[in-house]
A and B are shown apart, each in its own frame.
Chain A
């Protein structure tokens, strides 16, 4: 019993830094509605990390990196924020018509090295703290930049695109079909961007929610074309989880185990540093009947 409690504490501690961790698990938001009228003034959102979509059975998604963008591009603060054992919850006020983006955007570094004691050390944190957290005599120091974006979209009344503007950092989705205009049986077009430029030849995975009640993941796979675009025709209505990653972002091995993948070179930082990057993008999309 004691052992299992210790394990749980350790797992919980790990996931405090989850946005920077190798995502063997899936991080996601679940909004209470994605299509609303102007007589709606608020939604609530769940945020969690788990293997199963969209169930809260593993760890909460920490909200330290939460960014809510209103239809006019301004930042919105969440209300009634709570982080429990399995999920975080917050409300989003909807003061205006248009499209809102709810995102968790983390941008940090992962370092591993051999200490003076000869033992392996690992550290996750911000780029700014790297110099003070990693000892100067670290041997075999490897530093990986980790940029993760998890997001979802909500529209009140007529959709607009101000909040969908890419930031230009890491992997991002540029929805060509509006993300709150997804209908079963219809094709939707998207573009993946790497640091604001088309990400060509990248694999995209899409999984419908409700995995607990079926035996197969039934992954839908797509690959971006030369212009970073891909098309999905939705087989059924429901919530979907869309993911793409570079440099072992989602299911890849830990950096200390990872041989440099071909894609990793492409994912190098724009400054031209040799520092490898691990990038991941995930979105929750709702497809209506």
Chain B
């Protein structure tokens, strides 16, 4: 499962905004904003993105961004603060998870592209899903956004959810 996801996230390792990501046709394209916050103590948020089934079980893990720089895997200590992700699947994974884990990102806009024929889309059965994006910040808050959609995609659409604390706008662009 983990190995099959490793090819999914093109450009995840790079820290820059994903304008530099490879321009490939994408079936499922997620844009998420990490907003500028006016707080006394700022740490970059931990972010997880996954697809869940109607019963809230995890159909596919898409990304988890956490502090990879700390020694002795100290950054993993706070993965549990992505509470829902932790409970749904994070605690079952061995970190770092190939193709899923990446470093925390600075304030900015990011794009995750998922191409047809490759995991997790290739293995995704037809049905109703929700994209879930969860963000949690050390000494900060936690926010969770969900965007429901049906798979496979019938017609092109761009669905949106608006965060108001730890996340800005999250957009899910779907193309048949």
Partner-B contacts on A (CB < 8 A): 35-40, 157-159, 181, 183, 288-289
Contacts and interface: CB of A to CB of B under 8 A. Distances in A.
Given A39-B74, A39-B76, A157 B91 contact: yes
A181 B87 CA distance: 7
Contact of B77 (A37, A159, A181, A183): A37
B80 A36 contact: yes
Interface residues of B, number: 14
Interface of B: 72-74, 76-80, 83, 86-87, 91-92, 142
B69 to A, nearest CB: 14
B87 A37 contact: no
Nearest to A181: B87
B80 A35 contact: yes
Residue with the highest number of chain A CB atoms closer than 10 Å, among B73, B74, B86, B91: B91
Nearest to B86: A35
B76 A38 contact: yes
Nearest to A183: B87
B83 A39 contact: no
B77 to A, nearest CB: 4
Contacts of A35: 80, 86
Given A181-B87, A289-B83, A39 B72 contact: yes
B76 A158 contact: no
Contacts of B79: 37
Contacts of B92: 158
Contacts of B76: 37-39
